Amino acid sequence: MTSFALTGGRVIDPASRRDGLYDVIVSEGKITHIEAPGNLAVISVQSLLDCSGMWIVPGLIDPHAHLREPGFSEKETIATGLLAAAVGGFTAVAAMANTSPANDREEVTQYMLQRARASGGARLVPVAAVTKGLEGRDLVDFDAMIQAGVRMFSDDGLPIDDEATLTAAFREACRTGFAISLHEEDRALSAGGAMNAGRIANTLGIIGIPTCAETRRISRDLALATEPRTPIHLAHVSTAEATELIRAEKRRLTNLTCEVTPHHFTLDESAILISGPNARMSPPLRTRIDVEALVEAMADGTIDMIATDHAPHDPRSKCWDELKDIFGPHKPARRLSESQAQALARAANGVVGFETAVGLAMSLVHRGAISPARMVEMMSLNPARLLRLPEYGRLTIGGPANITVIDPELEWTVNPGNFVSKSRNTPFTGMTLKGMAVTTIVDGKIVVNRLPNSGAHNVS
């Protein structure tokens, strides 16, 4: 291990309420000093990273991502996913359980952790399934999974329909203290739907997914949580109504948290006219009113964290062959034929998110909707708390050096051709963003460095 100094940057660390110019020294994997500039003259380090004009923040943590391995390595592998995450500024990533086989037993968790150790990039934080085979019936062995290294439980992608099963899962969450992350969807209301219900779905001739598919399920699930301290996390909330429900329920449920994705706080349902299947996800993109409500809920603390829901897919899973003539930047789609509408409904849900998340979150900061400290809290401290990683999400002397350096002013245009992720399914192609993670340090190791004037390291 080496030692190095990050000099002259603006340290933003919500846990200690530090926000100002500091030099940070890392040695043997730990943070050894955080000092006002000029105070470190006597300390010798092997290398200097000039962070003038940059933000130095606790390593970003993504509480919700799909790394696709085992089972779907044509879309992503643990190695490519963790490297893409690090390039996006993430030092740790919660990897969802809908792999094949699902992460419902210790051997799968151990396999994932072992693959992660052999990769560079971000740290992998395993999420276990709540139910065996993600089938919504029999609970996994919570104790065995926690023993194997799991930090959260989720059948993400699938709601847990059976009330008795969910009630039993809440009891396990309460007993162990590890959160259950819920995908809130009433499938009786969303069946056959491919986008938000409303005018655009009607124009295109696509079956819509109404707001109540999300809110009815949130109401039901939270009503089943009779013990107020049950650790419950709501994945990817998408509607204004959901934010109101959660705001009210947080008064009763003391361990209720929720997340929002960059695509849901940036785009509305009209994105599908250009991006087609690359703007198809579950829950769907909603209206501009919903987007504004989500941003407001991020600012007022109702929404606790940002999650990418990084969901890589190959073009075939997105049915691009059947849809490529309809969607594109120069020809917003009109009414779809029946077979095209069916292709869109068949297209897999989800978008890649690691490499665009910081730029999209920064656009909220630049327009004054959230403060820099709030952004860091939502992308680092709060996910660390959810995943019960007490040494993460903060910059502490003596603590592990998980650090992200952000260039807040760097303007760049999203080009999926440059993604490190194996997949390219983004609705943000061609968008110009301001702000980018330039350096990512995971447990004291510089895994990505694009700082000018800092010498040797590039993406390693």
The footprint of Zn ion (CB under 5 A) covers 156, 309
Of the pair 307, 364, the CB lying nearest Zn ion is at 307
Q: Please, which residue, 312 or 444, has the CB nearer to Zn ion?
A: 312
295 near 364, Cβ under 8 Å?
Answer: yes
Nearer to Zn ion among residue 62 and residue 156 (C-beta): 156
Interacting residues of 78 by C-beta distance below 8 A, sequence separation 6+: 67, 69, 95, 112, 115, 116, 119, 124
CA 187, 222, 256, 243 torsion: positive or negative? Answer: positive
Shortest separation between residue 315's beta carbon and Zn ion, angstroms: 20
Give the shortest CB-282-to-Zn ion separation in angstroms.
Answer: 8
DSSP state of 351: B
Residue 158 vs 376, nearer CB to Zn ion: 158
CA 27, CA 148: separation in Å to the nearest integer?
29
Burial profile 49-83: b = 16 or more Cβ within 10 angstroms, e = fewer:
bbbeebbbbbbbbbbbbbbbbbebeebbbbbbbbb
Contact 346, 419 (CB under 8 A): no
Closest CB to Zn ion among residues 54, 65: 65
Q: Taking the complex as a whole, how short is the minimal distance between the CB of residue 264 and Zn ion, in angstroms? A: 12
Token readout for 42 is 């006597």
Cβ within 8 Å of residue 339, ≥6 positions away: 322
**Given the residues 156, 309, 325, 407, the one annotated as active site:** 309
Min dist. Cβ of residue 11 to Zn ion (A): 32
Least spacing, CB of residue 220 vs Zn ion, in Å: 20
- Dihedral angle sign, alpha carbons of residues 378, 383, 389, 392: negative
- Residue 128 or 401 with smaller CB distance to Zn ion: 128
Whole-angstrom distance, CA of residue 314 vs CA of residue 18? 42
Minimum Å gap between C-beta 66 and Zn ion is 6
Task: State the minimum distance, in angstroms, from the CB of residue 313 to Zn ion.
Answer: 12
Q: Is 443 left (phi over 0), alpha (psi -120 to 50) or beta?
A: left
CA 400 to mean position of chain CA atoms = 22
Q: Least Å distance between CB 157 and Zn ion?
A: 6
Question: Does residue 70 have a cis peptide bond before it, meaning omega lies within 30 degrees of 0?
Answer: yes
Name every residue whose Cβ is closer than 8 Å to that of residue 14 and which is 6 or more positions away in sequence. Answer: 373, 374, 376, 377, 380, 381, 394
**288 in the Ramachandran plot: left (φ > 0), alpha (ψ -120 to 50) or beta?**
alpha
| Torsion sign across C-alpha atoms 208, 212, 214, 217 | negative
309 is catalytic: yes
Nearer to Zn ion (CB atom), residue 69 or residue 309: 309
Torsion, Cα 14 16 18 24, to 10 degrees, reads -110
CB count within 10 Å of CB 353 equals 30
Smaller CB separation from Zn ion, 76 or 309: 309
- Active site positions, annotated: 309
